Chains A and B, each alone.
Chain A
Amino acid sequence: MNMIQALNNAHKVAMERDGDIVVYGEDAGYFGGVFRVTEGLQKQFGKTRVFDAPINEAGIVATAVGMAAYGLKPVIEIQFADYIYPGYDQIVSEVAKIRYRTAGEWAMPMVIRSPYGGGIFGGQTHSQSPESLFTHIAGLKTVIPSTPYDAKGLLIAAIEDPDPVIFFEPKRIYNGPFDGHHDKPVKPWAKHPASEVPEGHYTIPLGKAAVVREGADLTVLAYGTMVHVALAAVEENGIDAEVIDLRSLVPLDIETIEESVKKTGRCVVVHEAPRNTGFGAELTALVQERCFYHLEAPVERVTGWDTPYPHAYEWAYFPGPKRLKKALEKVMAD
């Protein structure tokens, strides 16, 4: 399966087990979503459980709040993460806060799915990586898969989670792993071991990172598309780096990060989002606070630039193996 199929399958598995799950979003019903993640669900589960929503993200999130208050489990699709901002007040002021402000009287179990990130020539409004706007908000969990296998297990876990989860799907790798070389076509997931996705129910716990490559000299912290860029950069440059796929940013698997950095003594953080107050800043601070006496070199960040996402200059903006290589070499040289 590719990631889209795995996510689609996750919906089916979860919805067959729980009749209280409803799925909706712009074009998410009859058509199955512009990326086809919800394809076939309306046919299988009926149009009152899977339906199209008006183009109104605030309304999509707000109605999900009401549904969660009623006792349903809404899984809503925001067509692109860049469109999430009209719904941001509902997410930040309501979804995230309701359990706390009612002392647990009302919980908000819901999943807000959204394709995110660049690499598809989507311009400013189809390419952003707004994860740090959500990781900053107490009460939300933020999950980003990097493989079809993880995508299914994490999405089912997110749906079954008692807390609201922002589930960002890296659209650059919907169809195949990305090796960072944009002049080559994306390879399909077909031959990748992570595309072996079991049909049935399984979960990947939120808050558990994956060590996707073991290594001794350096730790690379990545998530989403950047996991694949990191693996390419490490393999192509012969660096014995440990690559950690965080999988969920909140909750964060601090133990795996700490253990790895204490072992390697060096750390590079990579993400697509702009650098300034990005999630990399938090990771860097955590590593500094917890592993300072084990560090052989300053932590390096590889990120998108602090500009809006530029259409024609996408490949100079998007971190690739070349930019990562420089950082890896710099950290190793210290």
Chain B
Amino acid sequence: MRDKDNPKKANRPELRLHVPEPPFRPGDTPDFSSLKVPAAGSTPRPDIAVAAAEIEPLAKGLVRVLDDDGAAVGPWDPKLDADTLRKILRDMVTVRIFDDRMYRAQRQGKTSFYMKATGEEAIATATAAALDREDINFPTYRQQGLLVSRGYPLVEMMCQIYSNKGDKLRGRQLPIMYSSKEHGFFTISGNLGTQFPQAVGWAMASAIKGDSRIAVGWIGDGATAEGDFHAGMTFAAVYNAPAILCVVNNQWAISSFSGIAGAEKATFAQRGVGYGLPSLRVDGNDVLAVYSAVRWAADRARSNLGATLIEFFTYRAEGHSTSDDPTGYRPAGEAKAWPLGDPIERLKAHLLALGEWDEERHEAMRAECDAEVRAAQKEAEKMGVLPEQGRDNIESMFDDVYADVPWNLVEQRDQAVSEGRD
């Protein structure tokens, strides 16, 4: 390039690209002291008819109910009865044990892939408790707690993970990509964000038909960068869709921290305000805050006040999946340093503080859940594990592409059956 063609001007500063970096990398000592954590109970609880702009501070703050002593405080305390709290606690413990067993099953070569929800169990289980059984979820891959809470048989979940003969999805989906219409759990997609505007469409349909059911859409912090996130919010706002739009901000999208999705500049909840959607940022490790926020949003949706955006602020304590090694991009011990604690321990402390729980009962419940998961695993493995699959019933591969099997698939089915698997 000749000097006269050089677009740089001596009197102007050289432009620089900003690439966000997380505060800590492997080898660093994690220190979250700069994270502003408002005191439990300090966030106001507005009327459900409030306009988005009026509660913008709630999109930057953090709705919290459980304080450091395990007491429920402030206007967002849903004042749940002890049975409901114990049910959520049990669901969370079941999810954690289930995750551990299935993680190990993957390491033993019994399946191809697994994704844990460790540290995030409160979000799905408390949401399930706050919804009506008939409401539908359009989940991502880390909401297994919705199924556990709604009583989807653990054996069926495992059969899906093993793609075995008991797999209702007939071996066509990755492990953990469940689908259960009966349990209001829409089929999971590997293309991130797609389910978010789909939930809005379901909610619009419910409104078109004068139904009373609502839809909940789920998305991760990383996938908020997808166009579908914005499509979902646009349609939800335009048509006042009876939907709850949930962003699970667990800080990490595989190895990319939330800043790569724009978290340095604004919270994920703040994105809703611009669309005119009342938006809340909620302590995702606080069962009571999650429950209360979802109930608030559900009440809004059911009252024809439209959709709410909720950012659940949490931390992905484990790797993204069994294919991920988080020690390559973040410091060891970061999960332990997370200032919002462990959701199971926090709810346990609350129940203990209420005098509705004790260590013995907790241990007995944990042992029961463990036995239940082990029994389910034994049952599921009787129907086979992944490496043994794909030999029988090859012709089933050609079903369900269309309602009827067209001529080209009939011909290919015959060929595939005659060739066999190998």
Residues of A within 8 A of B (CB): 22, 48-49, 54, 56, 58-59, 62-67, 69-72, 74, 86, 89-90, 93-94, 98-107, 138-139, 141, 161-163, 207, 250-252, 254
Contacts and interface: CB of A to CB of B under 8 A. Distances in A.
B215 A56 contact: no
Given A48-B208, A72-B208, A59 B401 contact: no
B377 interface: no
Given A67-B202, A103-B170, 13 more contacts: A22-B208, A49-B208, A62-B196, A62-B201, A62-B231, A63-B235, A65-B198, A86-B227, A90-B194, A90-B228, A101-B169, A106-B186, A251-B406
Contacts, number: 138
B: interface residue count bin: 35 or more
Contacts of B172: 100-101, 103
A138 to B, nearest CB: 5
A67 B235 contact: no
Contacts of B191: 89, 93-94
A69 B215 CA distance: 11
A106 B194 contact: no
- Can you list the 4 inter-chain pairs with the closest CB atoms, starting with the nearest? A66-B201, A63-B201, A59-B231, A62-B197
Contacts of B235: 54, 56, 59, 62-63
A9 B199 CA distance: 31
Contacts of B37: none
B205 A70 contact: yes
B255 interface: no
14 contacts: A48-B207, A54-B238, A59-B234, A62-B231, A63-B235, A66-B197, A67-B208, A99-B400, A101-B179, A101-B187, A103-B170, A106-B186, A138-B401, A251-B406
Contact of A71 (B187, B205, B207): B205
A250 B373 CA distance: 46
Contact of A66 (B177, B215, B400, B408): B215
Nearest to A56: B231
A67 B168 contact: no
B205 A56 contact: no
Contacts of B187: 98, 101-102, 105-106
Contacts of B168: 103, 105
B211 to A, nearest CB: 8
B181 A105 contact: yes
B232 interface: yes
B112 interface: no
Chain A at the B interface: SS class: mixed
Contacts of B208: 22, 48-49, 67, 72
Contacts of B203: 66
B228 A58 contact: yes
A71 B136 CA distance: 13
A104 B399 CA distance: 9
Interface in B179-233: 179-181, 186-187, 189-191, 194, 196-209, 215, 227-228, 231-232
Interface string B280-297: 000000000000000000
Nearest to B411: A254
A257 to B, nearest CB: 11
B233 to A, nearest CB: 9
B208 to A, nearest CB: 5
B43 interface: no
A241 to B, nearest CB: 25
Contact of A254 (B170, B209, B400, B407): B407
A94 B190 CA distance: 10
Nearest to A51: B239
A66 B406 contact: no
Given A62-B228, A139-B402, A103 B169 contact: yes
Contacts of A86: 227
A17 to B, nearest CB: 17
Contacts of A162: 403
A65 B203 CA distance: 11
Instruction: Tell which of B177, B181, B227, B400 has the most Cβ of chain A within 10 Å.
Output: B400
Contacts of A163: 402-403
Instruction: Tell which of B172, B207, B209, B215 has the most Cβ of chain A within 10 Å.
Output: B209
Nearest to B403: A162
Contacts of A101: 169, 172-173, 177, 179, 187
Contacts of B209: 70, 72
